[in-house]
A = this chain, B = another copy of it.
Amino acid sequence: PANKKLLFLPGDGIGPEVMRQVRRVIDWLDRKRNVTFDVTEGLVGGAAIDAYGVPLKDETLADALAADAVMLGAVGGPKWDNPTDYTKRPEAGLLTLRKELNLFANLRPAVVFDALVDASTLKADVIRGLDILIVRELTGGVYFGEPRGITDIGNGERRGVNTQVYTTSEIRRVARVAFELARKRGNKLHSMEKANVMESGLLWRQEVTKLHQEEFSDVTLEHMYADNGAMQLLKNPKQFDVIVTDNLFGDILSDEAAMMTGSLGMLPSASLGAPDANGQRKALYEPVHGSAPDIAGRDLANPCATLLSFAMCLRYSFNMDEEAKMLEKAVQNVLSGGMRTADIMAPGMARCSTTVMGDSILREL
């Protein structure tokens, strides 16, 4: 069979150094598990702006479309903030990838690792054993809606506009992913919007309700206003199993949930497209954390989120559940052994660099 095709986009800040640890796992798969990946590498975000003047070259996008999966590090940084041309910001590269690959379902687990319960600012009792999955719509809503832009309206006044828009099928396809995932987990889905204020949210609520009645009435469904969701996450996070929400609310709520776990540096994500005729989905995997420019290039970053993103990649894109589990177990064992990068360091543990964390995980494998 043809080799598995992976596109590597390390991006900015700590992206390259955490992605380097994934390379090592790929070597290990090649040597020990007889699985060979064809890895192409490209630039995205600020790195691409510096090299080519655009955050994503057409060639890189073509590579992404041709690949079985994309592994991304992180994009952005103060160096490229506030550009005068809105299409030339690092984030535009990531957004183009999401849109062109049609990656409408963004899976963001918020999981508390037993070894890291104390890293959270929340009380241990509140979050111990937490295991939430947020399914964020990723190719619609106010991120992509038209019209958009800033216009001069005279008298020194300007007007900034974005459009929040969802259609029936956009809502149904992401809700379907969420319902299916809920079935494999705790069988409970919370859908969040602001149906009390926004018609787009009302449509969201109605379509989710309809799909539930039609195909998923065995799953427990609850609707919650997004502001209440932000509160309930804090009040009693364990009431949640799977949460489905739109692009913008998903951005905020998944970051809130991620920070609640106290270990942002541990959290992976997967962005999935629609299955094609062969059941294959386009997919992009990236850590939930950002590019962390303040610690970039200093071998301080936590590579676990990116390694766990690669585990999701093995599972969802290559059907390699066994290898995914081995990698996840290796990360857990290293944590249980007391190894900690700076972001999750705690008294009595062993502080280590990005590379040494990678070494230890490779040794476990």
In the complex, whether A184 has a CB less than 8 A from a CB of chain B is no
| A217 CB, nearest partner CB in chain B, Å | 18
In the complex, whether A285 has a CB less than 8 A from a CB of chain B is no
Which residue from chain B places its CB closest to the CB of A89 in the assembled complex?
Answer: B196
Q: Restricting to A243-279, which residues have a CB under 8 Å from any CB of B?
A: 248-249, 251-253, 255-256, 258-260, 264
Which one of B148, B161, B204, B252 contacts A230 once the chains associate, using CB atoms below 8 Å?
B252
Total interface residues on A, CB under 8 Å, equals 64
Which residue from chain B places its CB closest to the CB of A163 in the assembled complex?
Answer: B163
In the complex, whether A234 has a CB less than 8 A from a CB of chain B is yes
Residues of B near A91 (CB, < 8 A) are 196-197
Residues of B near A159 (CB, < 8 A) are 165-168, 203
In the complex, whether A287 has a CB less than 8 A from a CB of chain B is no
B200 touches A162 (CB 8 A): yes
Q: Report Cα–Cα, A158/B89, bound state, in Å.
A: 33
In the complex, whether A11 has a CB less than 8 A from a CB of chain B is no
Number of copies of this chain that the complex holds:
2
Mark each residue of chain A from 147 to 166: 1 if its CB lies under 8 Å from any CB of chain B, else 0: 01110010011111111111
User: What residues of chain A have their CB less than 8 Å away from a CB belonging to chain B?
Assistant: 76, 82, 86, 89, 91, 95, 121-123, 126, 142-143, 145, 148-150, 153, 156-169, 194-205, 207, 226-228, 230-231, 234-236, 248-249, 251-253, 255-256, 258-260, 264, 290
Task: Other than A162-B164, A226-B251, A231-B255, give 9 A-B pairs with Cβ distance below 8 A.
Answer: A82-B202, A86-B199, A122-B234, A145-B161, A158-B167, A197-B251, A228-B255, A230-B256, A231-B264
Name 30 interchain pairs, CB-CB below 8 A, sorted by A. A82-B195, A82-B202, A82-B205, A86-B199, A121-B122, A121-B123, A121-B236, A122-B234, A142-B197, A145-B161, A157-B168, A158-B207, A159-B168, A160-B167, A160-B199, A160-B200, A160-B203, A160-B204, A161-B164, A161-B165, A194-B251, A197-B251, A226-B252, A228-B255, A230-B253, A231-B258, A231-B259, A234-B234, A234-B256, A249-B252
